[in-house]
A and B are shown apart, each in its own frame.
Chain A
Amino acid sequence: MTAVTRPADEITRTPHPARYRDLLAAEWIKLWSLRSTWGAFALLLLALVGLATHAALATHAGWPDWTAQRRAVRSPLWDAFPAEAQMFVVLAASGVGAVAIGGEYASGLMRTTFAAVPRRHAVAAAKLTVLTGVLTLLGALGAAAAFAVSQAILADVGASMSVSEPGALRGIAASALLVPLCALVGMALAALIRHTAPAIVTAATVLLLLPTAVNEDERWSAWLRHAMPVPAWQRLIEPGGPPPWLTDTYPATVSGAWTTYAVWAAVAAAVVMLALHRRAP
């Protein structure tokens, strides 16, 4: 398609620079002006801190009756980042991501948005930046608080770990980053599906159910499992490798787990950029 076009400035009566930070500010307004954002963020923080408190209190109560062996194998990070809390994180964070894009497509707002900003990849980049940034901060806040609260409770019985011990910071970082990672997956699925509810269901299926359907008996199935975000997170919160009762033939590695995080994040972001840019809203 060739077009005989004149330069854009000919119709621009008062020239205005197209600043990327204006798009960031617009996405910021959009994010905080939805009630569901506040609800999901509150749920995230409550789940992270509340369930860590609950797990730590249970350990605290049972500690005097535990055998020395049981005390020895147990990691204080299991109470800081219990699996139930991460289920909430996965659901809430992927939900926020799905709402940010699915809600805009399903309502028709995406047409209004693109008529205001025809440079679609800039819109996509701004959405990714704002949501990933906010959720990284939120994840860091929640993970740090969960660690602090749970270890404060465990310190009472001498079962806590300090943040400087090996694996502690990694566990906090992995739990914090799981939040933006799941949001990215939610955004990518919503960009493809364009409806909020189906995108949330698909995200839950992919992130939570799929890992339970894959075992680690074979090399390929173990590889597949290690390439999923939630199993990768599980590996990253183990300070000294997998617990001794798990005798895996094909154990997950820390570097492999971080790679899983990075690849999922990159692919999800690329899907959002491409889908928003190419498909008619």
Chain B
Amino acid sequence: MIELRSLTRRYGRTTAVDDLTLTVRPGHVTGFLGPNGAGKSTTLRMLLGLTAPTSGTATIGGVRFRDLPRGLRHAGALLDAGDVHGGRSARAHLAALARSNGMGRHRVDEVLGQVGLDDAADRRVGRFSLGMRQRLGIAAALLGDPPVLLFDEPFNGLDPEGVRWLREVFRRLAAEGRTLFVSSHLMGEMEHCADHLVVIGRGRLIADESLAGFAARAGRAEVVVRTPEPASLTTALTAAGATVRPDPDGALAVLGVTAERIGDLALGLRIPLHQLTTRTASLEEAFMELTAADVEYATRESR
């Protein structure tokens, strides 16, 4: 269980995290979404006691992380796969971490096996690919068999096989009753493994709900109509209060009226219809729309 209460962090005049209050429950994968610079990493760092909050609290299992003598059995984390010394072997890196928390070498061998790094264990981390470093970071997070796991952009640098593997790992860990809090700036990465979504933008909470709820709330139903007489149908639909946007391929995208209503209208005017389809916006589109106003580094064209 992760709890944030009015968590705020300012850097000079910039507010990285702004009055964030939320609870992340066990047994689920909670996606932590937001555009780049939204404050996700700062939030995770505050949870781990690496950055001090300006105000508010962040607790894991009801305890401020910095008050714990040892951390690995309380929360495992992968913040940045680069947070290792390139001069050490994977085994030595994990051995030092394990030992600092009173765990032995057999635990190191176990997690190396879990992430499939057995064969590379004695190679220097400096020669690892990004994907291998991600696996090493995940191994380190799993060392203490912790009830809470935090991941910051864990899919970065993984090949499709690695992405699928990691999703399965997340699901399995959540099924074991653990709390998983996984940040990403891409909805596509989360929609196949998260059950719950927390969305932030510019440090503020935008959404905190289940994946299904998010989809239903944010996804607007749009009707795609294809007709040989688009001009007269557009006039009729606009008169009925709909918004009509011509698609480049000749179809009409209609908002504000249902497919049934469009069908009845067309029949009344004797306008033939060749296609009448309801299209729900994808989660990705919903996410983009939700965070559009809060994108920290928008491209120039979109401003």
Partner of A8, one of B53, B68, B87, B93: B68
Interface pair B96/A30, CB less than 8 Å apart: yes
Partner of B61, one of A11, A34, A36, A122: A11
Instruction: List residues of A whose CB falls within 8 A of some B CB.
Output: 1, 3-8, 10-14, 16-19, 22-23, 25-27, 29-30, 33-36, 103-104, 107-109, 111-119, 122-123, 280-281
Partner of A22, one of B56, B61, B88, B101: B101
Partner of B87, one of A19, A103, A280: A103
Query: Are A281 and B82 CB-contacts (below 8 A) given A3-B57, A23-B100?
Result: no
Please indicate the chain A residues that have their CB under 8 angstroms from the CB of B93 in the complex: 33
Please indicate the chain B residues that have their CB under 8 angstroms from the CB of A18 in the complex: 69-70, 102
Interface pair A104/B50, CB less than 8 Å apart: no
Report the separation of the CA atoms of residues A10 and B73 in the bound assembly, to the nearest whole angstrom. Answer: 12
Q: List 10 A-B contacts (CB under 8 A).
A: A16-B73, A25-B100, A29-B96, A35-B87, A107-B83, A107-B86, A111-B50, A113-B100, A119-B70, A280-B51
How many contacting A-B pairs (Cβ < 8 A)?
144
Interface membership of B92, Cβ < 8 A: yes
Interface pair A112/B73, CB less than 8 Å apart: no
Q: Which of B140-172 contact A (CB under 8 A)?
A: 140, 147
Interface pair A34/B99, CB less than 8 Å apart: no
Interface pair B69/A122, CB less than 8 Å apart: yes
Please indicate the chain B residues that have their CB under 8 angstroms from the CB of A281 in the complex: 50
Please indicate the chain B residues that have their CB under 8 angstroms from the CB of A23 in the complex: 100
Please indicate the chain A residues that have their CB under 8 angstroms from the CB of B83 in the complex: 107-109, 111-112
Interface size on B, residues (CB 8 A): 49
Please indicate the chain B residues that have their CB under 8 angstroms from the CB of A113 in the complex: 97, 100
Q: A109-B83, A115-B77 are in contact. List 9 more A-B contacts (CB 8 A).
A: A33-B92, A107-B84, A111-B45, A111-B83, A113-B97, A116-B70, A117-B70, A118-B49, A118-B66
Interface membership of B63, Cβ < 8 A: yes
Interface pair B63/A11, CB less than 8 Å apart: yes
Interface pair A34/B85, CB less than 8 Å apart: yes
Q: Which of B98-123 contact A (CB under 8 A)?
A: 99-102
Q: How distant is B140 from chain A, measured CB to nearest CB, in Å?
A: 7
Interface membership of B71, Cβ < 8 A: yes
Report the separation of the CA atoms of residues A5 and B61 in the bound assembly, to the nearest whole angstrom. Answer: 9
- The 3 A-B pairs of least Cβ separation, nearest first, read A11-B61, A18-B69, A33-B92
Report the separation of the CA atoms of residues A104 and B53 in the bound assembly, to the nearest whole angstrom. Answer: 24
Interface pair B68/A111, CB less than 8 Å apart: no
Closest residue of chain A to B144 (Cβ to Cβ) is A116
Interface class of chain B by DSSP: loop
Q: How distant is A238 from chain B, measured CB to nearest CB, in Å?
A: 40
Closest residue of chain B to A111 (Cβ to Cβ) is B83
Please indicate the chain A residues that have their CB under 8 angstroms from the CB of B268 in the complex: none
Interface pair A116/B88, CB less than 8 Å apart: no
Interface membership of B89, Cβ < 8 A: yes
Interface pair A108/B84, CB less than 8 Å apart: yes
Q: How distant is B51 from chain A, measured CB to nearest CB, in Å?
A: 5
Interface pair B73/A14, CB less than 8 Å apart: yes
Query: Are A104 and B61 CB-contacts (below 8 A) given A1-B55, A22-B102, A117-B100?
Result: no
**A13, A30, A34, most chain B CB atoms within 10 A:** A30
Query: Are A114 and B50 CB-contacts (below 8 A) given A5-B59, A18-B70, A34-B88?
Result: yes
Interface pair A119/B69, CB less than 8 Å apart: yes
Q: How distant is B235 from chain A, measured CB to nearest CB, in Å?
A: 62
Interface pair A5/B67, CB less than 8 Å apart: yes
Interface pair B80/A111, CB less than 8 Å apart: yes
Interface pair A115/B62, CB less than 8 Å apart: no
Q: How distant is B73 from chain A, measured CB to nearest CB, in Å?
A: 6
Report the separation of the CA atoms of residues A30 and B100 in the bound assembly, to the nearest whole angstrom. Answer: 11
Interface pair A118/B60, CB less than 8 Å apart: no
